[in-house]
Amino acid sequence: QSSVQLYGIVDAYVGSTKDTIKSATAESQTVVGSGGLKSNRWGMKGSEDLGGGLKAGFKLEQRFKSDTGEQDGVAFKGESSINLSGNFGAVALGRMGTPYDDLRGKTNPIADTNISPVGDTIKNAKADYTDKTDNTVAYVSPTFNGFSGAVAVSFGENKTNVADATSHSSLKLQYANGPLLVGYGFQKEESQLTAGTPAAATGQTEDKTFNLLAASYDFGVAKLVGGYQTLEIESKGVKQGDNDSLYFGVQAPVAKNINVFFGYAGSEYDAVTGTDYKATGFTLAANYVLSKRTDAYVGYKQIKKENDTTGADMGKVKTLAVGVRHTF
Amino acid sequence: QSSVQLYGIVDAYVGSTKDTIKSATAESQTVVGSGGLKSNRWGMKGSEDLGGGLKAGFKLEQRFKSDTGEQDGVAFKGESSINLSGNFGAVALGRMGTPYDDLRGKTNPIADTNISPVGDTIKNAKADYTDKTDNTVAYVSPTFNGFSGAVAVSFGENKTNVADATSHSSLKLQYANGPLLVGYGFQKEESQLTAGTPAAATGQTEDKTFNLLAASYDFGVAKLVGGYQTLEIESKGVKQGDNDSLYFGVQAPVAKNINVFFGYAGSEYDAVTGTDYKATGFTLAANYVLSKRTDAYVGYKQIKKENDTTGADMGKVKTLAVGVRHTF
Amino acid sequence: QSSVQLYGIVDAYVGSTKDTIKSATAESQTVVGSGGLKSNRWGMKGSEDLGGGLKAGFKLEQRFKSDTGEQDGVAFKGESSINLSGNFGAVALGRMGTPYDDLRGKTNPIADTNISPVGDTIKNAKADYTDKTDNTVAYVSPTFNGFSGAVAVSFGENKTNVADATSHSSLKLQYANGPLLVGYGFQKEESQLTAGTPAAATGQTEDKTFNLLAASYDFGVAKLVGGYQTLEIESKGVKQGDNDSLYFGVQAPVAKNINVFFGYAGSEYDAVTGTDYKATGFTLAANYVLSKRTDAYVGYKQIKKENDTTGADMGKVKTLAVGVRHTF
């Protein structure tokens, strides 16, 4: 019995991309891209039975770009955690996805893929949540009649004699029963205040509060997913604006080994003072299942951004991808 | 059946080195060096049978320096690729060695080792080809009666509204039959032009065109390898110079578990305007095979550079290495 | 038979830390920390039997921070080495721990853990030895009637026409017999002199000479460890000061699966000219053995620094940790 499992995903595509949001004069570019359906990763994980229902586990996951071979972020950006689990649930320490992120992932159109329009659309309107946090203590409850919950706290570890530490806290409550999943998520990202003024050195000068209601239902002929997210941004206790977002999608097995995916997201930022923004996006994709571990895919994603005060067009991001994904 | 194989090479040596090309006052230095016979690497690779003759495969290979433990280049500098192969050949995406590099490697004196004089000699004359490229689509044909070919294109992904993207394209044609290998290689490395002017921001302001004829023959008592490479350098469509290079080598099993290697390279750069350069180099080495996976070796490499316009000596690089190589 | 073993340690804790040595106004900080009992690592290692009593081996070990997923230092900071061993002992090349470090580790209170007070206390007084060195050739002798030795030389590889290279040399002599270990260690870290002046560019402008007498004895009901280290610092051949240090500790299995650890260290720096410093530190810890590969622990470490010329208090470092360690 091995005490460690080496695993990963390699996903690359040929395609074209054009981003007139970033630069109005951008041209369509032929590219080899990384992670069309899923972010590239490799990692080590393990689980040990300690007896009496107790288990110890760990996960170390590196992200990389398959098109250039570059590491993406820190060594174990994907996860760096150790946990103890038993009848009481599980306690984990380290760097990991937040409970909020878990619910967003489970209800993300296009099967939690990178080609999903959700995150990009929301970020183009204003801001989305932090998906993974350092210095985290997390608790995941066991499941009671389909109900379960999780909570996590991340310490900024930057407290001074004149300022509190930053912190992230996140929770998730969900009900899962057969084809149905319904969940509520909450995440608060707090800045560091020095006598009422955000401490600029910490890089976070705004407080963000996220609320999410999300659900999925598998009808067999198709699986529907969707969610509604609110974000309130404050600075020094003064509200800056609201960023509300809606997303939904459908995944359908249309023929043997062929699945079709559609996803949509819309997000609006209403500023208390200043410019409002609006972004909408959609993705249409299909994959051909070559084996349990390998599939080929084609996908098209488009995000559109507008100045929601003036109604002016602020550009589009278009990505077309034909690729292969392999899991090991 | 495991879906991933962990593999690598650790190679280190004790030796001395003196480089009066880089610095005229350089002294002989006692060193522990990295990769005398082969670059240090570790990687993950796998192959999955998809049925019907179709296979999926991947390779992620990191390079490192065994003497200091440092990573060499990006995370998966050695290779970061995914491929599908079948009767039609193989298609690969990602970062990988070019087809041109494959032919150079197969005909490199001293068994494709780092102690080979070829690359260093050519670079000291003027310039050698780029061995691995990002954002690459490659096709490798099946073999017909000993004949096979490969072609690859790498996208610079830096097209703007006033300049084309840079690109690398590479191809190889080879005939391999028993002890004989003959091949032709071509590689073109294109700069980014902005209205006829290379875009300096991309780092490549010259176009390079490489042609290679190379062969190897295994006589049993000795294996001979060699090649002739031409390089034409242009800038904004105007020829800058020619860099022609010749290399050859012999590998002979002289006693049980003992092989002797000799390699030579000469390279001349003829500038249209300005100074000409000339470099010559040779390597003499021997290894003692301790097992299929481990050998000990001794090698000596010397490169000499001259100003080929004035005939002035521009220094020498000398490296002596006694080391061990282990494959896992 | 696999030719490579993937292994590692993941260790994280929740705790609090306060460091008034670094900043007099520091506050107590709630943290998730990395490596309370042992530094986080993953690596690849292997050993191959070459016949005739000869073996080849390698080890590549990366260090990382479990709380943030960041790589700690170079890719293979922990070790990057290849070795041949046989009746003659073992010869190794690469980056590795020095023989001196081996003896310090074997006699380190708190079972060679990070929560041990020794290194931090000595560094707070003045300076401790370099534990791992690049560009190293090492020889470890076989054991004769309990006696063994090891020696290593590390080349700075920075010799110029006006200055010698830096270098580290280290040796260890030990006697181990049943419950007893007694050892002597020596390490010399030489700066680079340019005509009698340290070459600042190399980063090391002082010569350090370390001597260590250390021992451990396992009484069964408790294991005692301890050592006495002297350090003489010179610059351009002129003595700068002495840094003498004493450390000891006890490890006792107090109940089934429960061990208690105590360690103490004291270090004084007597400068020839200028300020003297003094540091003392202790650790109290206990672990609960969940399995051969996993334990939970609690520990408290405190280091105190004084100006030993004036007697003035220079602050304290306090760390409390409750954590889990898992080995794979």
Residue C273 near chain B (CB below 8 Å):
no
C14 DSSP 8-state letter: E
Query: Is the pLDDT confidence value at C191 over 70?
Result: yes
Predicted confidence at residue B236, as pLDDT, reads: 83
Predicted confidence at residue A113, as pLDDT, reads: 75
Tell me whether residues C50 and B8 touch, CB distance under 8 A: no
The token duo for A163 is 């300022």
**How many beta-carbon contacts under 8 Å exist across B and C?**
118
Residue A61's pLDDT band, with cuts at 50, 70 and 90, is very high
**Mean pLDDT in chain A?**
94
Q: Which amino acid is it at A63?
A: R
What is the Cα Rg of chain C in Å? Answer: 21
What CA–CA distance (Å, rounded) separates B283 from B61? 27
Pick from A27, A69, A70: CB nearest B160 = A27
Quickly tell me which residue has 């609960």 as its tokens: C288
What CA–CA distance (Å, rounded) separates C252 from C223? 6
Tell me whether residues A14 and B137 touch, CB distance under 8 A: yes
Answer yes or no: are the C-beta atoms of B119 and B227 closer than 8 Å: no
Q: Which amino acid is it at B216?
A: S
Residue C321 near chain A (CB below 8 Å):
no
Predicted confidence at residue A202, as pLDDT, reads: 57
Predicted confidence at residue A163, as pLDDT, reads: 82
Residue B177 near chain C (CB below 8 Å):
no
pLDDT tens column, B15-37: 999 999 999 999 999 999 999 99
Tell me whether residues C67 and A94 touch, CB distance under 8 A: yes
Query: Is the pLDDT confidence value at A203 over 70?
Result: no
- How far CA C236 is from CA of A16, C154, C187, C196, C218, in Å, comes to 63, 21, 18, 6, 44
Query: Hey, what's the torsion of the CAs at A107, A113, A115, A119, to 10 degrees?
Result: 50
Query: Is the pLDDT confidence value at C195 over 80?
Result: no
Work out the percent of chain B whose per-residue pLDDT is above 70.
Answer: 95
Tell me whether residues A324 and B93 touch, CB distance under 8 A: yes
What is the Cα Rg of chain B in Å? Answer: 21
Pick from C27, C64, C327: CB nearest A80 = C64
* Chain A residues touching B76 at Cβ < 8 A: 64, 69-70
Predicted confidence at residue B97, as pLDDT, reads: 98
Residue B314 contacts by C-beta under 8 Å, 6 or more apart in sequence? B21, B277, B305, B306, B307
* Average pLDDT of the segment spanning A130-156: 97
* Chain A residues touching B4 at Cβ < 8 A: 6-8, 328
Residue B292, sorted as left (phi over 0), alpha (psi -120 to 50) or beta, turns out to be: alpha
Residue B239 near chain A (CB below 8 Å):
no
pLDDT tens column, B250-269: 999 999 999 999 999 999 99
Query: Is the pLDDT confidence value at A17 over 70?
Result: yes
- What residues does C153 pair with on adjacent strands? C137, C169
Tell me whether residues C294 and A48 touch, CB distance under 8 A: yes
- What residues does C34 pair with on adjacent strands? C12
Query: Is the pLDDT confidence value at C111 over 70?
Result: no
* Average pLDDT of the segment spanning B282-294: 96
Query: Is the pLDDT confidence value at B150 over 60?
Result: yes
Residue C11 contacts by C-beta under 8 Å, 6 or more apart in sequence? A82, C34, C35, C36, C37, C38, C39, C40, C66, C323, C324, C325, C326
C127 three-class SS: coil
- Range of weakest confidence among A163-172, B119-128, C268-277: A163-172
**How many beta-carbon contacts under 8 Å exist across A and B?**
119
Query: Is the pLDDT confidence value at A242 over 90?
Result: yes
pLDDT tens column, C174-186: 999 999 999 999 9
Residue B71's pLDDT band, with cuts at 50, 70 and 90, is very high
Quickly tell me which residue has 């000409």 as its tokens: B276
Residue B199's pLDDT band, with cuts at 50, 70 and 90, is low
* Average pLDDT of the segment spanning B212-241: 95
Tell me whether residues B134 and A30 touch, CB distance under 8 A: no
Residue B28 contacts by C-beta under 8 Å, 6 or more apart in sequence? B16, B17, B18, B318
Three-state SS string over chain A comes to CCCCEEEEEEEEEEEEEEECCCCCCCCCEEEEEECCCCCCEEEEEEEEEEECCEEEEEEEEEEECCCCCCECCCCCCCEEEEEEEECCEEEEEEEEECHHHHHHHHCCHHHHCCCCCHHHHHHHHCCCCCCEEEEEEEEECCCECCEEEEEEEEECCCCECCECCCEEEEEEEEEEECCEEEEEEEEEEECCEECCEECHHHCCCCEEEEEEEEEEEECCCCEEEEEEEEEEEEECCEEEEEEEEEEEEEEEEEECCEEEEEEEEEEEEEECCCCCEEEEEEEEEEEEECCCCEEEEEEEEEEEEEECCCCCEEEEEEEEEEEEEEEC
The token duo for A35 is 């992670």
Cα C17–chain centre separation: 22
Predicted confidence at residue C160, as pLDDT, reads: 85
| Neighboring chains of B (3 or more beta-carbon pairs < 8 A) | A, C
B104 three-class SS: helix
B198, A118, A44, B45: which is closest to C64 by C-alpha? Answer: A44
pLDDT tens column, A101-119: 999 999 998 866 778 899 9
* Chain C residues touching A134 at Cβ < 8 A: 32, 67-69
Residue B252 near chain C (CB below 8 Å):
no
The backbone torsions φ and ψ at residue C37, rounded to the nearest 5 degrees and listed phi first, read: -95, -30
What CA–CA distance (Å, rounded) separates B48 from A328? 9
Q: A109 or C293: which carries more pLDDT confidence?
A: C293
Predicted confidence at residue C13, as pLDDT, reads: 97
Query: Is the pLDDT confidence value at C311 over 60?
Result: yes
Tell me whether residues B82 and A68 touch, CB distance under 8 A: no
What CA–CA distance (Å, rounded) separates C94 from A29? 45
pLDDT tens column, A250-272: 999 999 999 999 999 999 999 99
C282 three-class SS: strand
Predicted confidence at residue A18, as pLDDT, reads: 95
Query: Is the pLDDT confidence value at B324 over 80?
Result: yes
Predicted confidence at residue A110, as pLDDT, reads: 81
ipTM over 0.85: yes
Predicted confidence at residue C159, as pLDDT, reads: 87
Residue B94 near chain C (CB below 8 Å):
no
Residue B53 near chain A (CB below 8 Å):
no
Query: Is the pLDDT confidence value at C136 over 80?
Result: yes
Residue A26 contacts by C-beta under 8 Å, 6 or more apart in sequence? A18, A19, A20, B160, B161
- Range of weakest confidence among A113-122, B167-176, B213-222: A113-122
Query: Is the pLDDT confidence value at C201 over 60?
Result: no
Residue C200's pLDDT band, with cuts at 50, 70 and 90, is low
Cα C228–chain centre separation: 14
- What residues does A55 pair with on adjacent strands? A49, A85
A246, A232, A268, A96: which is closest to A170 by C-alpha? Answer: A96
- How far CA A268 is from CA of A117, A125, C119, C173, in Å, comes to 15, 6, 55, 71
pLDDT tens column, C26-51: 999 999 999 999 999 999 999 999 99
Half-sphere exposure for C242 (CA within 13 Å, toward CB): 5
CB atoms within 10 A of CB A187: 27
Answer yes or no: are the C-beta atoms of C183 and C172 closer than 8 Å: yes
Predicted confidence at residue A197, as pLDDT, reads: 65
* Average pLDDT of the segment spanning B222-243: 95
Residue C242's pLDDT band, with cuts at 50, 70 and 90, is very high
pLDDT tens column, C55-107: 999 999 999 999 999 999 999 999 999 999 999 999 999 999 999 999 999 99
Residue A60 near chain C (CB below 8 Å):
yes
* Chain A residues touching C296 at Cβ < 8 A: 84
The backbone torsions φ and ψ at residue C99, rounded to the nearest 5 degrees and listed phi first, read: -55, -40
Residue A328 near chain B (CB below 8 Å):
yes
* Average pLDDT of the segment spanning C112-117: 81
The token duo for C168 is 């580290």
What CA–CA distance (Å, rounded) separates A137 from C14? 8
Tell me whether residues C94 and B32 touch, CB distance under 8 A: yes
Predicted confidence at residue A194, as pLDDT, reads: 66
Cα C72–chain centre separation: 15
**Mean pLDDT in chain C?**
94
C111 DSSP 8-state letter: H
C4, C42, C68, best to mutate vs chain A, most A CBs in 10 Å? C68
Answer yes or no: are the C-beta atoms of A227 and A212 closer than 8 Å: yes
Tell me whether residues B328 and C4 touch, CB distance under 8 A: yes
CA distance C242 to chain A (A): 36
- How far CA B100 is from CA of B81, B189, C285, in Å, comes to 17, 12, 60
Sorted by where each starts, the structural domains of chain B and their CATH numbers stand as 5-327 (2.40.160.10)
Query: Is the pLDDT confidence value at B63 over 80?
Result: yes
Handedness of CA A31, A37, A38, A40 (dihedral sign): negative
Across B57-67, b (16+ Cβ under 10 Å) vs e yields: bbbbbbbbbbb
Residue A200's pLDDT band, with cuts at 50, 70 and 90, is low
Tell me whether residues A64 and B50 touch, CB distance under 8 A: no
The backbone torsions φ and ψ at residue A119, rounded to the nearest 5 degrees and listed phi first, read: -60, -45
Query: Is the pLDDT confidence value at A45 over 80?
Result: yes
Answer yes or no: are the C-beta atoms of C251 and C275 closer than 8 Å: no
CA distance C52 to chain B (A): 11
Give the DSSP per-residue string, B190-257: EPPEETTEE-GGGS--SEEEEEEEEEEEE-SS-EEEEEEEEEEEEETTEEEEEEEEEEEEEEEEEETT
Query: Is the pLDDT confidence value at A201 over 60?
Result: no
* Chain B residues touching A324 at Cβ < 8 A: 56, 82, 84, 93
Handedness of CA A193, A198, A201, A205 (dihedral sign): positive
Predicted confidence at residue C202, as pLDDT, reads: 56
